[in-house]
Structure 1
Amino acid sequence: MIGSDETAIRRGGAHDAETVADLHALSWRTAYRGIVPAEAIGDGLAAERRELWALRLTADYGEPVDTPELLIAERAGEAVGFAYLVPQPDGRVLLDNLHVRPGRTGGGIGRALLAEARAHVAERHPGAALYLEVLRDNTRAVAFYEREGGRRTAAQEGVFPGGHLLPEYVYTWPAAQS
């Protein structure tokens, strides 16, 4: 377990699927309200996220180096955030999710998760860049990634539940130098 005075970060597993799914749905409903169509974050979201995370966290990805990694941030034993790292065929690693429990943002949890994600990539995927996709209109997240040294490397459209296309940016952190 890696942590600061208040935030501990641990590796997650299949037993965390429901907790992560619920936190994911809550985060989407809070952060994306007014950004994505209401039906994309509506009543079926929690069940869809539970199904997604149960599948993601029990799937066989083959070689350990190809297996995604779930990081869970905890404070006082409560899951307050998570990050999910997915190795890509092009040698980069996608930070597919970085979410902090609503009401707990701004307290260093996201920064701790991002730092641990970068350290994990440097250790397990030497030479790999870390990147993520963020909704263009999620200005709070965009500002966070820019403060944390992410470089905007692309603009594209992302697909959300229901087939909704939304503009997003790609932010990249280059491979750590050894």
Structure 2
Amino acid sequence: MQIRAGSRDDVEQIAALHVDSWRTAYAGIMPDSYLSGPLGAEKLDLWRARTAEPDPATGLFVAVDGREITGFAYTTPRSDGRILLDNLHARPGRTGSGIGGRLLRHTLAWAAAEHGGRDLYLEVLSANTRAIAFYERHGATRTDERVCRFDQGFALPEVEYTWTAKALAARDMRVGVRTE
């Protein structure tokens, strides 16, 4: 498995993996009508927009096995000075195989190198206990709880997890980060 920067050429695979991941992870959590409905078109539009004009301040990384994208991570700077890890997904059926861990370590190292001095955080649905356990195993600290309101008309409780800038620097994972 290789981790490389994602690009416009990856949009269809990323969007399809994103949809498959949500349909698997959020079954019974999000409304079935949403997961089986407009999700595919929404994610394809999202990834087309995100890759249309690449922004060097964002990070899009894909895990590749041959020609197949088996996972991806996406970060973006926020107006409060922090970096948001907005997406981290491994292909359903391949979770637990190390893809997510490798992507996360790469992303944390990239954030420390490219955005030193800034915290990196994520938001995860409270009912997604598998993801919460994963982030806690990888050193994230719970920093907030709130309700996430979706444009599609539903709301779900979520928690925020953070790696502080100090914690990112202490991981000393900058060696070998490839962002090209």
- TM-score normalised by the chain length of structure 2: 0.88
Give the aligned partner of residue 36 of structure 2: 42
1:74 aligns with 2:64: yes
Match of 2:14 among 5, 12, 20: 20
Alignment of 1:1-178 (within 5 A): 7-59=1-53, 64-65=56-57, 68-175=58-165, 176-177=168-169
* Cα contact 1:134–1:169 (8 A) shared by 2: yes
- What letter is aligned with 2:70? V
* Cα contact 1:40–1:161 (8 A) shared by 2: no
Tell me how far apart the structure 2 counterparts of residues 124 and 55 of structure 1 sit (CA, whole Å).
Answer: 22
Q: Structure 1, residues 81-113: CA drift from partner, whole Å, max 9, x if none?
A: 000001112221100000110000001110001
Deviation at 1:161, TM superposition (A): 4.8
Q: How many pairs were matched up?
A: 168
Tell me how far apart the structure 1 counterparts of residues 15 and 113 of structure 2 sit (CA, whole Å).
Answer: 27
- What letter is aligned with 1:138? N
Off by >3 Å, runs of 4+ in structure 1: none
Tell me how far apart the structure 2 counterparts of residues 102 and 158 of structure 1 sit (CA, whole Å).
Answer: 24
Among all aligned residue pairs of Structure 1 and Structure 2, give the percentage whose two residues are the same amino acid: 49
Report the secondary structure of 1:47's partner residue: helix
Tell me how far apart the structure 1 counterparts of residues 149 and 89 of structure 2 sit (CA, whole Å).
Answer: 18
RMSD over aligned CA atoms reads: 1.4
* Cα contact 1:40–1:160 (8 A) shared by 2: no
Report the secondary structure of 1:22's partner residue: helix
- What letter is aligned with 2:76? V
> CA 1:79/1:96 → structure 2, altered by over 3 Å: closer, same or farther?
same
Q: Structure 1, residues 16-57: CA drift from partner, whole Å, max 9, x if none?
A: 111111000000000000011112212321111111110111
Q: Which runs of 5+ in 1 are unaligned?
A: 1-6
- TM-score normalised by the chain length of structure 1: 0.89
Q: Which runs of 5+ in 2 are unaligned?
A: 171-180
